[in-house]
């Protein structure tokens, strides 16, 4: 009673004063979080407290789903089995090829006394849920810093890159998908059809398409150079998420760039976050309007993380930027000017001939 | 005792803190359910609704400080920018504090209409903040969330004012 009377009339600052104080505080927090990423500790602490609660809350739904699964399991398993068998067959061919390439790569690496570019260690994690935020493209996985996950690690699944770890709790982590607005990832364009069957296009056919007979040699040379370029991996670019499901964009690609619908985007590895060679997306729209200086290029991501449950978080702590031998770098710097001159000459020749 | 609504209100014993905190925790749990897709877009914010209810009925205990704190918790839970929900909650609670006296003496339906306005403003701020961050608009279904929230106000009002939730023996205060 006495305690009650103590603050019967003392109400503290007025609502407006409090509103001003708290709004300014909230805005300050937002700026600190957005601009300086300064509040990771607070976020980590709160999420560590919330995670067990969220786990518990998912339990009834999980039990329900498990019961449902039990009844449809048989059919689903058969389907899945078939799909997996198909995939095994498909992959075994590729796998053998990859083995060869890996062996070659190892050989070359040994010759160069250089390290392999990345190690393939990682942690397998289960996707717990989507982030409860209609404005964000994020998922939450069931591994956190207790499992050795680090901020910024790349997350992949069987089909390619899923995204990147952007917030960590003790036993959970947030993964921002590649489709999140402004989430960018350095890529390289490759053309799978020519890559897998380079011998499928006979040089005579290529020669026949270019009319003058005298040009046969140079034409076949030309196909050889394009093929070489494709095998090397052509255009390098930065893919940027669009904020919409199933859409990644490639801004700032010149209209004249060599890119087609069906091209595959793989990580180029220049950022030191994503190891090179993981598939990111397939180009679905190429809109080359000469009125604009850049082409509009849209790609659909290689993975659909809402369709399955497991991902792998790569251990990128040891992944370093692609190492360049200083001697080579020096030489490259000197050769660059010469090379570009030579290429310019070649281009001019080609232009003349095409005319 | 024959009292005017205002004096009846003033003389009503305060709700036990246990009830206030318990209901806020329950609302938080509901918000933490794995909502996704359409359900997520039209989900009314249960925490905000419960906060506003207690701001109307227990202004001594629940105010903008609670709104700010729970807002930060929701930001972490929803993987949103920190401070987003905090700002939204604080503004909504401020508006409720302004309209509190009036709200308490209206019928439940009229109360729900007031809540619709407040929740709508809150939703607008939330959407505006996300758009200003360059995010894509998630669809006009977002408007349904405050609507459902206002509808929920009625059962909430009914349940929380059930006599069994009132502290016994407090009639001595009268």
Instruction: Give domain status of residue B31, yes or no.
Output: yes
Put simply, the chain B residues between 83 and 122 with a CB less than 8 A from any chain A CB are: 83-84, 86-87, 90-91, 94, 97-98
Instruction: Give domain status of residue B174, yes or no.
Output: no
Instruction: Give domain status of residue B88, yes or no.
Output: yes
Instruction: Give domain status of residue B24, yes or no.
Output: yes
Count the domains in chain A.
1
Q: Out of A61-75, A331-345, B89-103, B119-133, which region has the weakest mean confidence (pLDDT)? A: A331-345
Which one has a higher pLDDT value, A350 or A24?
Answer: A24
Contact B82 A39 (CB under 8 A): yes
Q: Out of A45-49, A145-149, A211-215, A288-292, which region has the weakest mean confidence (pLDDT)? A: A211-215
Contact A46 B72 (CB under 8 A): yes
State in Å, rounded, how far the first CA of chain A is from the last one. Answer: 99
The distance of B1 to chain A (nearest Cα, Å) reads: 22
Count the domains in chain B.
1
Instruction: Give domain status of residue A318, yes or no.
Output: no
Q: Provide the pLDDT confidence category of residue A328 given band limits of 50, 70 and 90.
A: low
* Dihedral sign (CA A323, A326, A327, A332): positive
Question: How confident is the model over B19-55, as pLDDT tens digits?
Answer: 889 999 999 999 988 887 888 888 999 999 999 999 9
The reply to whether B144 touches chain A by the CB within 8 Å rule is no
Would you list the DSSP string of B111-130?
HHHHHHHHHHHHHHHHHHHH
Contact A26 B133 (CB under 8 A): no
Residues A212 and A354: their CA atoms lie apart, in Å, by: 11
Instruction: Give domain status of residue A153, yes or no.
Output: no
Does position B126 have pLDDT exceeding 90, yes or no?
yes
**A interface test, pick of B16, B17, B83, B95 with most A CB neighbours within 10 Å:** B83
Nearest to A132 among B35, B72, B139 (CB): B35
Instruction: Give domain status of residue A43, yes or no.
Output: yes
**Measured between beta carbons, which residues in chain B are less than 8 angstroms from residue A26?**
68, 71, 83-84, 86-87, 90
Q: Which of B66, B31, B42, B73 is nearest to B52 (CA)?
A: B66
3-state secondary structure of A177: strand
Burial class (CB in 10 A: 0-12, 13-18, 19+), A86: exposed
Does position A323 have pLDDT exceeding 60, yes or no?
no
Instruction: Give domain status of residue B10, yes or no.
Output: no
What DSSP character marks residue A293?
S
Instruction: Give domain status of residue A126, yes or no.
Output: no
Residue of B nearest to A23 (CA): B87
- Return the pLDDT at B128: 93
- Give the residue-averaged pLDDT of B128-150: 87
- Return the pLDDT at A156: 85
Does position B98 have pLDDT exceeding 80, yes or no?
yes
The distance of A149 to chain B (nearest Cα, Å) reads: 18
3-state secondary structure of A170: coil
- Give the residue-averaged pLDDT of A344-348: 72
**B interface test, pick of A7, A55, A65, A134 with most B CB neighbours within 10 Å:** A134
Residues A318 and A309: their CA atoms lie apart, in Å, by: 26
What DSSP character marks residue A268?
-
Residues A309 and A125: their CA atoms lie apart, in Å, by: 8
Residues A194 and A201: their CA atoms lie apart, in Å, by: 9
- Return the pLDDT at B3: 59
Contact B76 A32 (CB under 8 A): no
Instruction: Give domain status of residue A229, yes or no.
Output: no
Instruction: Give domain status of residue B145, yes or no.
Output: yes
Q: Which of A185, A181, A212 is nearest to A279 (CA)?
A: A185
Does position A263 have pLDDT exceeding 50, yes or no?
yes
Instruction: Give domain status of residue A57, yes or no.
Output: yes
The reply to whether B138 touches chain A by the CB within 8 Å rule is yes
What is the average pLDDT score of chain B?
84
- Give the residue-averaged pLDDT of B57-66: 88
Q: Which of A318, A254, A249 is nearest to A285 (CA)?
A: A249
Instruction: Give domain status of residue B159, yes or no.
Output: yes
- Return the pLDDT at B39: 86
Do A183 and A162 form a contact (C-beta atoms < 8 A)?
A: no
Joined tokens for residue A55: 């786990």
Would you list the DSSP string of A294-317?
EEEEEEEES--TTS-SEEEEE--S
Q: Which structural domain range is residue A62 located in?
A: 31-116
Question: How confident is the model over A181-193, as pLDDT tens digits?
Answer: 888 899 988 876 5
Q: What percent of chain A has pLDDT over 70?
A: 69
Element (H, E) at B162: none
Q: Provide the pLDDT confidence category of residue A221 given band limits of 50, 70 and 90.
A: very low
Residue of B nearest to A8 (CA): B60
Q: Out of A113-122, A216-225, A314-323, which region has the weakest mean confidence (pLDDT)? A: A216-225
**C-alpha dihedral over B156, B161, B167, B168, to 10 degrees?**
-140
Contact A26 B34 (CB under 8 A): no
Q: Which structural domain range is residue B120 located in?
A: 16-165
Q: Which of A345, A336, A258, A270 is nearest to A297 (CA)?
A: A258
Q: Which of B68, B72, B83, B84 is nearest to A29 (CA)?
A: B83
Does position A97 have pLDDT exceeding 80, yes or no?
no
Residue by residue, what is the 3-state secondary structure of A220-257?
A: HHHHHHHHHHHHHCCCEEEEEECCCCCCEECCCEECCC
Nearest to B68 among A25, A129, A243 (CB): A25
- A266 — phi, psi (to 5°)? -120, 155
The distance of A342 to chain B (nearest Cα, Å) reads: 44
What DSSP character marks residue A114?
-
Q: How many CB atoms lie within 10 A of CB A185?
A: 24
What is the average pLDDT score of chain A?
74
- Return the pLDDT at A1: 43
């Amino acid at each position: 009673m006495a305690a009650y009377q103590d603050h019967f009339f003392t109400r503290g600052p007025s609502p407006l004063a409090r509103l001003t104080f708290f709004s300014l505080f909230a805005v300050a927090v937002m700026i600190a979080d957005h601009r300086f990423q300064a509040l990771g500790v607070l976020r980590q602490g709160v999420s560590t407290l919330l995670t067990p609660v969220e786990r518990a809350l998912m339990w009834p739904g999980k039990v329900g789903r498990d019961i449902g699964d039990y009844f449809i399991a048989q059919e689903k398993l058969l389907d899945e089995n078939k799909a997996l068998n198909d995939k095994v067959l498909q992959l075994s061919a590729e796998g053998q090829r990859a083995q060869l390439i890996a062996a070659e790569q190892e050989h070359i690496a040994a010759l160069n006394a250089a390290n392999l570019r990345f190690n393939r260690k990682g942690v397998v994690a289960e996707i717990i849920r989507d982030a409860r935020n209609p404005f964000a493209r994020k998922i939450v996985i069931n591994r956190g810093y207790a499992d050795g996950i680090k901020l910024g690690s790349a997350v992949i699944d069987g089909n390619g890159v899923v995204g990147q770890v952007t917030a960590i709790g003790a036993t959970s982590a947030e993964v921002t998908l590649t489709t999140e607005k402004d989430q960018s990832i350095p890529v390289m364009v490759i053309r799978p059809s020519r890559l897998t069957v380079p011998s499928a296009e006979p040089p005579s056919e290529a020669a026949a398409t270019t009319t003058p007979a005298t040009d046969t040699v140079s034409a076949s040379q030309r196909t050889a150079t394009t093929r070489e370029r494709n095998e090397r991996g052509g255009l390098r670019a930065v893919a940027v998420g669009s904020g919409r499901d199933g859409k990644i964009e490639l801004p700032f690609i010149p209209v004249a760039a060599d890119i087609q619908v069906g091209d595959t985007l793989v990580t180029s590895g220049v950022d030191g976050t994503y190891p090179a060679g993981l598939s990111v997306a397939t180009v679905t729209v190429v809109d080359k309007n000469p009125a604009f200086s850049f082409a509009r290029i849209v790609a659909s991501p290689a993975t659909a993380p809402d369709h399955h449950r497991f991902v792998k978080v790569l251990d990128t702590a040891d992944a370093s930027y692609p190492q360049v031998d200083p001697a080579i770098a020096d030489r490259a710097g000197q050769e660059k000017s010469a090379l570009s001159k030579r290429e310019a000459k070649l281009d001019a020749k080609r232009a003349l001939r095409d005319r | 005792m024959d009292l005017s609504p205002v004096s009846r209100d003033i003389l009503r014993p305060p709700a036990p803190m246990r009830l206030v905190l318990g209901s806020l925790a329950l609302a938080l749990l509901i918000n933490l359910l794995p909502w996704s897709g359409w359900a997520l877009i039209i989900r009314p914010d249960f925490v905000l609704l419960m906060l506003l209810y207690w701001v109307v009925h227990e202004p001594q205990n629940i105010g903008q400080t609670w709104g700010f704190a729970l807002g930060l918790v929701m930001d972490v839970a929803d993987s949103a920018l920190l401070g987003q929900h905090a700002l939204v909650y604080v503004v909504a609670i401020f508006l409720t504090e302004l309209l509190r006296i009036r709200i308490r003496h209206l019928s439940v339906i009229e109360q729900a209409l007031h809540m619709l306005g407040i929740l709508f403003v809150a939703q607008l701020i939330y959407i505006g903040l996300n758009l200003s961050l360059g995010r894509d608009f998630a669809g006009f279904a977002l408007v349904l969330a405050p609507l459902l929230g206002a509808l929920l106000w009625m059962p909430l009002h009914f349940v929380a004012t059930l006599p069994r939730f009132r502290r016994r023996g407090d009639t001595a205060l009268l």
